[in-house]
Structure 1
Amino acid sequence: MTGELFIRRLTMQLLPSLPEPSVLVLDNAPYHSQLTDDRRSPTSATKKADFISWLEYRRLPIPPGATRPELLLIRPQNRPKPQYTVDNIIRQWGHEVVRPPPAHPELNAIEQVSAYMKHHGRSLLHRFTRVDLQARLEEARLCATQSVWAGAVKRSREFEDWYWLSDNIQKPVGPLIINLDSDD
């Protein structure tokens, strides 16, 4: 899958078929996470001249005689907040985008349903031919029913609740004033 192919399928097939408004959950696959042109920041492979152009475009001070490694030190505090091309397209169609945290498949219902479908498809695959594989994939897709999705969402919420509890996050404490002139 490429970003261009994903956007084509998104705009030609998926988005026109969804009732408005819908919520789309996207993982952090590279084709979901292409930054808009104005939100790209230089990388360690960026040429010095391009880096300087990036700084000038953002009206950021350029230290005279700075080397490329010195310019790279300027990047972290001036990197724009990410904005993704796919997210903008989805919002233009009147839908919302949710991005679960990376490396936490238990918080992403899509990952759970995908694992369920893969398990189902593999368990029935006796011969590895294209026809058999396509048939098993279709059966696996049909097994991802509304109740399977509801169970995956429920499990994701249970994991999220457990994480909140295990992190021992409590309500914030008000301001604490310490008088330095006292002997207490």
Structure 2
Amino acid sequence: MGNAGFHRSSIDIFESTEDNHMDSSHFLAWIDRTASPLRKEFGIYTKIVLVIDNAPWHNRLTNDTMPPKRSWRKEHIIQWLNTHNIDVPVKAVKAELLDIAMKNLPENDMKLMKQLKNTMLISCGNLPIKHCSLNPLELAWAGLKQYVRDNNVNFRLSDVRHLAQEWMLNLKTATVMAYLNHVYNIEEMFKKSDAFTEQLEEGLLDDDNDDELDSEIEEMTD
């Protein structure tokens, strides 16, 4: 979603099932087929920034940097250590091997999202953790659900899909700007709160320093 509303060719609506649900593979496939048209549409010199939250599928590591899991068999952990050119003690037990692996994790925690971003020349920014109030899509999501609830009279999945598409495609620019301005105002409120907190903390620290100085002066004069 941008200033003018949802990017129509990027919309992905699907039925969530056990075999077809949102995970890193689905998300990256969506990014892959979305990023390229965006770049072609706006040209190579236009800056494109994707702002995402911190869902697990947004932060999946590459196979090379993914750490071993405690559920792995000992042989699998040894294979991981060998792949990363880490010496494996002959008589080490599984717990010791895991400890060695954790102490020698690759420094470059390259994520699949970053890899894809580099190939498409698209920047990526993450929202602060547990700050959904800074995500305008949460407001859009609430509006979409309300529209579906108000107009879903037959309770068929096909109707839900149609209503969701209808709401997104008819979303007015004024409504989008209202969402964005609402989030902007919250961001400004957070900034002012942070600035006030910093001033308050500095004042408290200054008071502590003054008390210490007074105590030192009293000791010197006694």
Q: Same fold (TM over 0.5)?
A: yes
Note the 1:74-93 alignment, pairs <5 A: 74-80=100-106, 81-93=108-120
TM-score, length of structure 2 as denominator length:
0.61
Residues 112 and 62 of structure 1: CA distance in aligned 2, closer, same or farther (over 3 Å)? farther
1:125 aligns with 2:146: no
* Inter-partner Cα distance in structure 2 for 1:121 and 1:159: 32
Partner of 1:179: none
Please tell me whether Structure 1 or Structure 2 has the larger radius of gyration of its CA atoms.
2
Aligned length: 174
Note the 1:54-133 alignment, pairs <5 A: 54-80=80-106, 81-133=108-160
**Selected match of 2:171 from 143, 147, 152:** 143
* Inter-partner Cα distance in structure 2 for 1:47 and 1:97: 36
* Inter-partner Cα distance in structure 2 for 1:144 and 1:118: 16
- Identify, as 1 or 2, the structure richer in helix: 2
Q: Secondary structure at the match of 2:86?
A: coil
Higher relative contact order (CA 8 A, sep 6+): 2
Contact (CA 8 Å) 2:35, 2:120: kept in 1 or not?
no
Residues 117 and 164 of structure 1: CA distance in aligned 2, closer, same or farther (over 3 Å)? farther
Structure 2, unmatched stretches of 5+, are: 1-21, 206-218
* Inter-partner Cα distance in structure 1 for 2:188 and 2:158: 38
* Inter-partner Cα distance in structure 2 for 1:167 and 1:79: 37
Contact (CA 8 Å) 1:113, 1:152: kept in 2 or not?
no
**Selected match of 1:46 from 72, 78, 98:** 72
Q: Secondary structure at the match of 1:98?
A: strand
Residues 106 and 48 of structure 1: CA distance in aligned 2, closer, same or farther (over 3 Å)? same
Letter in 2 for 1:121: V
Partner of 1:154: 184
Q: Percent identity?
A: 24
Q: Aligned-residue CA RMSD in angstroms? A: 3.3
Residues 77 and 165 of structure 1: CA distance in aligned 2, closer, same or farther (over 3 Å)? farther
**Selected match of 2:38 from 9, 13, 17:** 17
Q: CA deviation at 1:168?
A: 4.2
TM-score, length of structure 1 as denominator length:
0.71
Q: CA deviation at 1:150?
A: 1.8
Residues 110 and 4 of structure 1: CA distance in aligned 2, closer, same or farther (over 3 Å)? same
